[in-house]
Homo-oligomer: A and B are copies of this chain.
Amino acid sequence: METINIGILGLGTVGSGVVRILQSHADKISSITGRKLKVKTVVVRDMTKKRTVDLDGVTLTDDFEMLINDDSIQMVVEVMGTVEKAREYIKRLLEAGKHVVTANKDLIATYGPELTKLAKEKKCDLFYEASVAGGIPILRTIVNSFAADQIVSVKGIVNGTTNYILTQMNQNNVAYEEALKDAQELGFAEADPTNDVEGIDAAYKMIILTQFAFGKDITLDDVKIEGISKIQLSDIKEAKRLGYNIKLLGVAEKVNDHITISVGPVLVPQTHPLATVINENNAVFVTGVAVGETMFYGPGAGELPTANSVLSDIISVTKNIVMGITGNSFNDYSHEIKLATPDEVKNPYYISLIVPDKTGEMLKLTELFTNAEASFKLITQTEANEGFAKISIVTHAMTEAQLLKIEEGLKQETDVELLAAYKVLEKG
């Protein structure tokens, strides 16, 4: 049986997982591809670090040029992380005619179009299934199974850290800070959690999902981003009382003939499949004109799940090499579509406020909402600290422009504190 030699850039969690699966599932992989897949060279930064995988017969080096100069290596897996360095390496690998598989979402979200173009020119494959939602094969599913359909919306729980924190807050009634600490101790959150808790990680994934679902390249600036670090336990509880779980959702959806992309806390009805996705799990809910509502659920991270997605790419490359058809883009859907304006995007909102507990406050609020032509669906007033009341409002659907007007109005009221203004997913 012919051998296909593979190089690996980086031997952290995912890299180790790739080596492990290639070793333990070698028979099945060979039976499917008709090829023996062999890790020939692994490039690492620190040669002295202790490794947990069996590297018998593998060349371990800190010299990247060993990949470039070895013509017997047809495919390289990039799992080293970072953006600029990875970009430079991948460009050089593609220039050298090597197929590339990467799990690097920041890189693809930032330089995807450039690298895709280069890969195509060089007749190389460039796959990155593992860059979104770890073990869930969502990218390949969109390419293969939604090709004939028109996707209307993609709603994703695509960040495990924040979903874990929100699950703890929701199930165990703990505040954000405590849930974060817990997540850090369990290894679900990093020491500096900013990227996850502020929604940046989810936004990168939504950039890639938008490219696949709507055929449109966007940048981080096109995504409205809000994180979870300001979510109050009292709002989690109030949402629950109303029949919702608060989730950090990435949403990319069509509005009229435009699209809007956002990441932020959303009230999800407890009867909605996304509400049942707990802990560090991920799920992507895709609605198509023809197919209706579908959901793809699984682990969003972890050594073996992510490595498995890398492996599915490796096998795709291998099959393409065998059939002589490398060089086709991962996603060949491209479509001219504009971003929606704040006037177009309509949602019901959950708004919560702390106001002084005195006569006339509710009148002031009501006037403010009326000026923005927004209407209440539901209002609850409860006691807050001494002399203050907490008011929670669910509005009827209104535009982002209306919400902005309300938010600006509230800022003028120095004695009113806006705690939350979250989208509400309507009950089906």
CB within 8 Å of B: which residues of A?
17, 21-22, 24-25, 28-29, 31-33, 129, 135-137, 140-141, 144-150, 273, 276-277, 288-299, 302, 304-305, 307-309, 311-312, 314-316, 323, 325, 328, 332-335
Contacts and interface: CB of A to CB of B under 8 A. Distances in A.
Given A150-B25, A276-B273, A145 B294 contact: no
A167 B135 CA distance: 30
A305 B276 contact: no
Q: What 6 A-B pairs have minimum CB-CB distances, sorted nearest first?
A: A148-B311, A137-B145, A294-B298, A290-B308, A290-B304, A295-B297
Contacts of A289: 24-25, 304
B298 A291 contact: yes
Given A31-B333, A150-B25, A307 B290 contact: yes
B145 A140 contact: yes
A119 to B, nearest CB: 17
Copies of this chain, whole number: 2
Contact of A141 (B137, B150, B314): B137
Nearest to A28: B150
Contacts of A144: 137, 140, 144, 312, 316
B32 A145 contact: no
A290 B23 CA distance: 12
Contacts of A21: 148-149, 290
Nearest to A145: B137
A292 B136 CA distance: 10
B25 A312 contact: no
Given A273-B276, A276-B276, A293 B288 contact: no
B148 A28 contact: yes
A273 B293 contact: no
A207 to B, nearest CB: 21
A291 B299 CA distance: 7
Nearest to A140: B144
Nearest to A18: B148
Contact of A292 (B276, B296, B304): B304
A129 B304 CA distance: 27
Given A24-B289, A144-B144, A295-B296, 17 more contacts: A28-B335, A129-B145, A135-B290, A135-B294, A136-B294, A144-B312, A144-B316, A145-B308, A273-B276, A288-B308, A290-B307, A291-B309, A292-B299, A294-B296, A294-B299, A323-B325, A325-B325
Contact of A297 (B288, B294, B305, B323): B294
A25 B149 contact: yes
A135 B314 contact: no
Contacts of A295: 295-298
A120 to B, nearest CB: 14
A31 to B, nearest CB: 7
A416 to B, nearest CB: 39
20 contacts: A17-B290, A25-B148, A28-B333, A129-B145, A135-B294, A144-B144, A145-B309, A146-B308, A146-B312, A148-B311, A290-B308, A291-B308, A291-B309, A292-B304, A294-B296, A295-B296, A295-B298, A296-B297, A323-B328, A325-B325
